[in-house]
């Protein structure tokens, strides 16, 4: 009997699936009517492959849909419950947010920002970050948010690429108790960028900064402007933002998103996946510097008039109980996080979350990487107490919103640990072979999307050619996701890792997630990463890096035990050449394992672009573990 968990939250709207299957264009047409439009569209979809324009001729405004529409009934409702890393808190209502956004929109206008201009935002996780984004949206400027953990060089690349004339930053931001001087990072970044006219500086940490003639203080600018600013009437495909991908596989790409299609996608998926109710307290742990933060911290919750918690700092600061403290304090009902974070919590054991009151939780979610079945079970049992459905949501910066996920807001869900379930209505997912032919059930292949969808990127910023070659050249008329996956007999989708990372051993193709999940299901292991290195005989041979639970020591005995487990669970073909025990794995700043760095270490090659690497010491430690083993075995 396969392991499944059926959970219903009292919703029975699966008829939407039939509607979507019979005609996805008219299905999205009816979904788009949930938003407020200044004028309706004349054509639902203009599909000129690979460019899609949704709701052509329609006009709307993202900030209007996030704020103005709630003023009559919800102006006193809390929009953001902000928790600072240092324990400060702020409660911001829809009414206050509305005023702040209009004022900041006037500030931008007073500095000459016009419709179509780009504005770079480099702020920590403070309410002024969504305020700045919504203010841009209000006047039709395209925002480009840079994660506040990035260095001057990364800022310079992104500002030059987007040609932003205005940058919004802060004096400093808190990270693990330290103040990071964001302003000096911007000063370094724009030294040679003469086109930058103004830098707006929010006084967050009150650290010492030096002011230049380009700099203006947020507080002073806000004091001088009116709190009335009408939302611009913008075409549906107006560019809302540029956002650079995480850079897990290489240099980040500048993904460009539009307005009407994107917001339609978010509104619908937020209701279907999270079953959002007026009384919910939603908490998504993603930094707004990543797409999850853009879509499911800023836009989706505000479109739906939800109340959410926004947390400024690191999930393990001052210790690993911080998340549970926040959940208990705000009586969070819906919690959305990453497999990386859950593995971190697991490493320190169940006693910590068990000592908090998490009884308000009713729904859990994950995003960002495949969730290993063992990690899923821990999340389900320890955090959700076997009551809460887990939505494992698959999507990308490029897709704008979720494409695959269980949808408890729509129907009773039947969950399989480790599977993201089925595509959302209106999304046509295919698993295909090298030639683009559909593979049968239980066969691995490349994940593609066969129809355009409303949240899809407009293009890559200023680079239509790269957009075409990256996503649309491998298969004719199909979006190539770059992920490896499989559909089982029941139609459930299993994400198996990145297509580039697939291991090819003696003609057998193995997804990294299969091996990693096998190792992680051993009680001593909490996280692992597999990669292939060249081998004269087999073509490729497997090496694995494993992080152990707190207090457990690795050694040849454990290595043998894990190797035996792989041979039993997957087969002799997957026998790894070595398993290296490491204290941590190299990850992107968005928390994803960077397997290409491990591969470079395994093959003694150049490490390549590390601009999005979170912690350089992880690479040194992996290198050390690798060298140790090879000295011993020489
Ligand atoms: P880059 O494209 O620069 O390498 P990135 O792909 O890491 O960066 P994102 O767009 O943030 O940037 O991440 C999307 C990727 O994350 C997906 O392609 C997939 O590999 C992974 N992913 C996201 N959600 C899931 C999920 N639920 N299950 C499995 N993998 C997921
Ligand atoms: Mg990607």
What are the tens digits of pLDDT across the range 494-512? Answer: 999 999 999 998 889 999 9
Interval 141-170 mean pLDDT: 96
How many A from CA of 368 to the centre of ligand 1? 5
Reduce the secondary structure of 21-85 to three states and give it as a string.
HHCHHHHHHHHHCCCCCCECCCEEEEEECCEEEEEECCEECHHHHHCHHHHHHHCCCEEEEEECC
Where residue 20 falls (left for φ over 0; alpha for ψ -120 to 50; beta otherwise) is alpha
**Torsion sign across C-alpha atoms 559, 564, 567, 570:** negative
Structure token pair of residue 622: 């992996």
pTM exceeds cut of 0.95: yes
| Residue of the CA atom closest to atom 17 of ligand 1 | 396
- Within a domain: 357: no
User: Does the structure show a pLDDT above 90 at 205?
Assistant: yes
Structure token pair of residue 263: 């917001």
State the virtual CA torsion across 128, 188, 292, 131 in degrees, nearest 10: 20
How many A from CA of 397 to the centre of ligand 1? 8
Taking the CA of residue 290 as reference, the ligand 1 atom at the shortest distance is: 11
Interval 323-351 mean pLDDT: 97
d(CA 602, CA 111): 51
Please give the pLDDT value at position 608: 83
Burial 227-256 (b: 16+ CB within 10 A, else e): eebebbebbbbbbbbbbbbbbbbeebbbbb
Interval 309-332 mean pLDDT: 96
Interval 349-366 mean pLDDT: 98
How many A from CA of 396 to the centre of ligand 2? 6
Nearest ligand, CA 286: 1
- Within a domain: 624: yes
CATH at residue 594: 3.30.300.30
Closest CA to 243 of 298, 198, 182: 298
pLDDT band at residue 631 using 50, 70 and 90 as cut-offs: confident
| Residue of the CA atom closest to atom 1 of ligand 1 | 247
Taking the CA of residue 497 as reference, the ligand 1 atom at the shortest distance is: 20
Taking the CA of residue 394 as reference, the ligand 1 atom at the shortest distance is: 27
How many A from CA of 247 to the centre of ligand 2? 7
- Within a domain: 616: yes
Reduce the secondary structure of 73-130 to three states and give it as a string.
HHCCCEEEEEECCCCCEEEEEHHHHHHHHHHHHHHHHHCCCCCCCEEEEECCCCCHHH
Out of 291, 493, 592, 612, mutate this one to test ligand 1's pocket (max ligand atoms within 8 Å of CB): namely 592
How many A from CA of 214 to the centre of ligand 1? 37
Q: Name residues contacting ligand 1 (CB within 6 A).
A: 245-249, 252-253, 290-291, 367-370, 392-397, 420, 481-483, 495, 498, 590, 592
Find tokens 């996946």 and name the residue: 273
User: Does the structure show a pLDDT above 60 at 634?
Assistant: no
Question: Domain range spanning residue 627?
Answer: 501-632
- Within a domain: 428: no
User: Does the structure show a pLDDT above 80 at 1?
Assistant: no
- Within a domain: 548: yes
What are the tens digits of pLDDT across the range 418-443? Answer: 999 999 999 999 999 999 999 999 99
Closest CA to 127 of 168, 92, 99: 92
| Residue of the CA atom closest to atom 16 of ligand 1 | 368
| Residue of the CA atom closest to atom 5 of ligand 1 | 246
Taking the CA of residue 249 as reference, the ligand 1 atom at the shortest distance is: 4
The H or E element spanning position 560 is: helix 556-569
pLDDT band at residue 475 using 50, 70 and 90 as cut-offs: very high
Q: How many domains does the chain have?
A: 1
Chain-centroid distance of CA 79 in Å reads: 21
pLDDT band at residue 251 using 50, 70 and 90 as cut-offs: confident
- Within a domain: 522: yes
- Within a domain: 508: yes
- Within a domain: 209: no
d(CA 414, CA 405): 11
Report the chain's mean pLDDT, rounded to a whole number: 96
């Amino acid at each position: 009997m396969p392991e499944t968990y059926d959970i219903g939250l009292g919703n029975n709207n699966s008829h939407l699936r039939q509607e979507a299957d019979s005609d996805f264009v008219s299905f999205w047409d009816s979904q788009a009517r949930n938003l407020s439009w200044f004028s309706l569209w004349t054509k639902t979809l203009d599909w000129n492959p690979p460019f899609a324009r949704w709701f052509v001729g329609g006009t709307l405004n993202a900030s209007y849909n996030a704020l103005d529409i709630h003023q009559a009934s919800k102006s006193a409702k809390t929009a953001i419950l902000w928790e600072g890393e240092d324990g400060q808190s702020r409660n911001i209502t829809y009414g206050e947010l509305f005023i702040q956004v209009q004022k900041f929109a006037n500030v931008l206008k007073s500095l000459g920002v016009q419709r179509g201009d780009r504005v770079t935002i480099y702020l920590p996780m403070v309410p002024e970050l969504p305020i700045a984004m919504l203010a841009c949206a209000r006047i039709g400027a395209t925002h480009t948010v840079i994660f506040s953990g990035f260095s001057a060089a990364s800022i310079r690349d992104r500002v030059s690429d987007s040609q932003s004339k205005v940058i919004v930053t802060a004096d400093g931001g808190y990270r693990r108790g330290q103040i990071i001087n964001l302003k000096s990072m911007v000063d370094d970044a724009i030294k040679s960028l003469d086109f930058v006219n103004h830098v707006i500086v929010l006084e967050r940490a009150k650290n010492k900064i030096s002011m230049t003639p380009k700099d203006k203080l947020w507080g002073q600018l806000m004091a001088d402007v009116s709190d009335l600013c009408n939302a611009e009437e913008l075409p549906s495909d107006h560019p809302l933002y540029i956002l650079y991908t995480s850079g897990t596989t290489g240099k980040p790409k500048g993904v460009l998103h539009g307005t009407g299609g994107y917001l339609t996608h978010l509104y619908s998926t937020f209701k279907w996946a999270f079953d959002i109710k007026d009384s919910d307290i939603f908490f998504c742990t993603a930094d707004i510097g990543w797409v999850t933060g853009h879509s499911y911290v800023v836009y989706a919750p505000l479109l739906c008039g939800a109340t959410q918690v926004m947390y400024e700092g690191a999930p393990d600061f001052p210790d690993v109980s911080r998340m549970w403290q926040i959940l208990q304090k705000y009586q969070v009902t819906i919690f959305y996080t990453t497999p990386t974070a859950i593995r971190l919590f697991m490493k320190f054991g169940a006693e910590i979350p068990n000592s908090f009151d998490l009884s308000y939780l009713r729904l859990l979610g994950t995003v960002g990487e495949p969730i290993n079945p063992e990690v899923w079970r821990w999340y389900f049992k320890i955090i959700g107490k076997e009551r809460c459905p887990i939505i494992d949501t698959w999507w990308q910066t490029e897709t704008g919103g979720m494409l695959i996920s269980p949808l408890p807001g729509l129907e009773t869900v039947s969950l399989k640990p480790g599977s993201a379930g089925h595509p959302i209505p209106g999304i046509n997912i295919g698993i295909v072979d090298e030639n683009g032919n559909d593979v049968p059930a239980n066969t691995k292949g490349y994940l593609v999307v066969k129809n355009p969808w409303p949240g899809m990127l407009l293009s890559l910023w200023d680079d239509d050619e790269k957009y075409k070659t990256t996503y649309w050249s491998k298969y004719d008329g199909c979006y190539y996701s770059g992920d490896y996956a499989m559909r089982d007999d029941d139609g459930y989708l299993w994400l198996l890792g990145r297509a580039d990372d697939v291991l090819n051993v003696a003609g057998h193709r193995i997804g990294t997630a299969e091996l990693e999940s096998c190792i992680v299901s051993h009680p001593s292991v909490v996280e692992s990463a597999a990669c292939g290195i060249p081998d004269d005989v087999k073509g490729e041979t497997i090496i694995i890096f494993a992080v152990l639970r707190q207090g457990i020591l690795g050694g040849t005995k454990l290595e043998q035990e894990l190797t035996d487990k792989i041979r039993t669970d997957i087969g002799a073909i997957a026998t790894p050449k070595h398993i290296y025990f490491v204290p941590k794995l190299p990850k992107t700043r968005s928390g994803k394992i960077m397997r290409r760095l491990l591969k470079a270490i395994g093959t003694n090659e150049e490490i390549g672009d590390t601009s999005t690497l979170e912690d350089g010491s992880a690479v040194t430690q992996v290198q050390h573990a690798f060298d140790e083993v090879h000295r011993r075995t020489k």
